[in-house]
Amino acid sequence: MTAPESRLLERHLHTLAGQRLLLVNPPADELPTRLRAEGCDLRIFHQDLNAARQLEQRGLAVEYGPWLAPAEAPQRVLLWQMKARAWHALLLDMLQAELPEGTPLWLVGEKRSGIQSSLKPLKKRLGQAEVLDKARHCTLIASRLQAAPSRLEDHLQSQQTEVAGETLRWQSLPGVFAHGRLDAGSRFLLEHLPRPVEGQVLDYGAGVGLLSLYLQQRFQPQRLVLLEPDALALACARRNLPQAHALAGTRLADAPNGLDWIISNPPFHQRQAQSVDVALALIEQAPAHLRAGGRLLLVANRFLPYHSPLSAAFQQVDIVAENPQYRVYLAQ
Ligand SMILES: C[S@@+](CC[C@H](N)C(=O)[O-])C[C@H]1O[C@@H](n2cnc3c(N)ncnc32)[C@H](O)[C@@H]1O
Q: Is the CB of 229 under 6 A from ligand 1?
A: yes
Q: Which pLDDT does position 274 carry in this prediction?
A: 63
Q: Residue 270's pLDDT is what?
A: 61
CATH annotation of 4-152: 3.40.50.150
**pLDDT confidence of residue 88:** 96
- pLDDT tens per residue across span 55-94: 999 999 999 999 999 888 999 999 999 999 999 999 999 9
Residues of the chain scoring pLDDT < 70 = 269-274
Alpha-carbon separation of residue 299 from 60, 258, 266, 320 (angstroms): 35, 22, 8, 10
How many Cα atoms are found within 13 Å in the side-chain-facing hemisphere of 147? 7
Q: How much is the pLDDT for 275?
A: 79
> What is the pLDDT, as a whole number, of residue 1?
80
Q: What is the pLDDT of residues 286-327, one digit of tens each?
A: 999 999 999 999 999 999 999 999 999 999 999 999 999 999
* DSSP β-bridge partners for residue 171: 158
Distance between CA atoms of residues 149 and 298, nearest Å: 42
For ligand 1, atom 20, the nearest C-alpha belongs to 250
- How far apart (Å, rounded) are the C-alpha atoms in residues 24 and 30? 15
Averaged pLDDT of the chain: 96
**pLDDT for residue 185:** 97
Beta bridge pairs of residue 246: 226
What ranges do the domains of the chain cover?
4-152, 156-331
CATH superfamily of 156-331: Vaccinia Virus protein VP39 (3.40.50.150)
**Residue nearest ligand 1's atom 11 by CA:** 205
Distance 120 CA to ligand 1 centre (A): 33
255 Cα–ligand 1 center, Å: 14
Residue 195 Cα to ligand 1 midpoint, Å, equals 23
For position 268, what pLDDT does the model report? 86
Which of 161, 170, 177, when mutated, tests ligand 1's pocket best, judged by the most ligand atoms within 8 Å of its CB?
177
Is 265 a pocket residue for ligand 1 (Cβ < 6 Å)? yes
- Whether 4-152 and 156-331 share one fold: the answer is yes
- How far CA 197 is from CA of 3, 69, 225, in Å, comes to 42, 38, 13
Ligand 1 centroid to residue 122 C-alpha, Å: 31
Q: What is the pLDDT of residue 60?
A: 97
